[in-house]
Amino acid sequence: MVISFRPLSRRSPPAVARWVALLAATALAAATASARHHHAKAHEGAAGEFDYYLLSLSWAPTYCLTHADDGDECSSKGYGFVLHGLWPQYAGGGYPEQCPTDQALSAEAAAKGQTLYPSPRLMSHEWQAHGTCSGLSALEYFRTADRATASVRIPPAFDAPRADATLTAAQITALFRKANPALPETALTLACSRANLSEIRICLSRDLVPQDCGRGVHTSCPDVPLQIPASR
């Protein structure tokens, strides 16, 4: 497998037209499937009642390209993969969200969370939407998210590349599996924003051991070469 990180090549006008048409069709299908998943799968749950975690790491350059006016997440340059969230999941499909809890986001917890997430707003959202369902205090939840993130080895090819690249979903998956040989075959999925790599998602047990993902967790990227914007 030959993989090169280089500026994306120009295409002739007819090729561009065919490329745009293909991306439009695949992106629409992926967006529809993703919308069905995210709108149908959230459930009211009780804190601590879940089966496993889904760790989501965002490719920051893609986020910044699609959210150019977001000063918090994109004020710092050079990010590669950053923590998006650690989400409790049900093995049979779906996930709990915004669980009732008496655990508050303390100043100590917020200080820890701000070292992990690219913005205070995202940190607060992740605690309210997902951390409250973990059954942990906010501080212990952020410490768990930190350990989960540290357990994933990022392939060298994604170590803040300075040039844009194109890779297929299969190639990206192969790189992560090579760097993390303990990952089960169905423990890793990808998410995309159109044909741009957006996130990698890894399923972990409650003890943060890689495991197979539950029902409904799957790769949502189109079956085309994916663009991977460089870290700027």
- Written as tens digits, the pLDDT of the chain (232 aa) is 434 333 333 333 444 334 334 334 433 333 433 433 443 366 778 899 999 999 999 998 886 766 555 555 555 545 789 999 999 999 999 999 999 988 889 999 999 999 999 889 999 999 999 999 999 999 999 999 999 999 999 999 898 777 899 999 999 999 999 999 999 989 999 999 889 999 999 999 999 999 999 999 999 999 999 999 887 6
pLDDT of 174 reads 96
pLDDT of 26 reads 36
Alpha helices in 55-119 (DSSP H): 60-66, 71-74, 107-113
pLDDT of 48 reads 94
Q: Is the pTM of this model over 0.85?
A: no
Domain limits, the chain: 13-228
Helices (H) and strands (E) in the chain, counts: 7, 8
pLDDT of 92 reads 96
**What is the pairing mode between strands 95-96 and 42-43?**
parallel
pLDDT of 19 reads 36
Quick one: CATH architecture of 13-228? Alpha-Beta Complex (3.90)
Q: How far apart are CA 215 and CA 206, in angstroms?
A: 17
Q: Within 10 A of 165 (CB to CB), how many other CB atoms are there? A: 21
Short-list 18, 30, 34, 4, CA closest to 228: 4
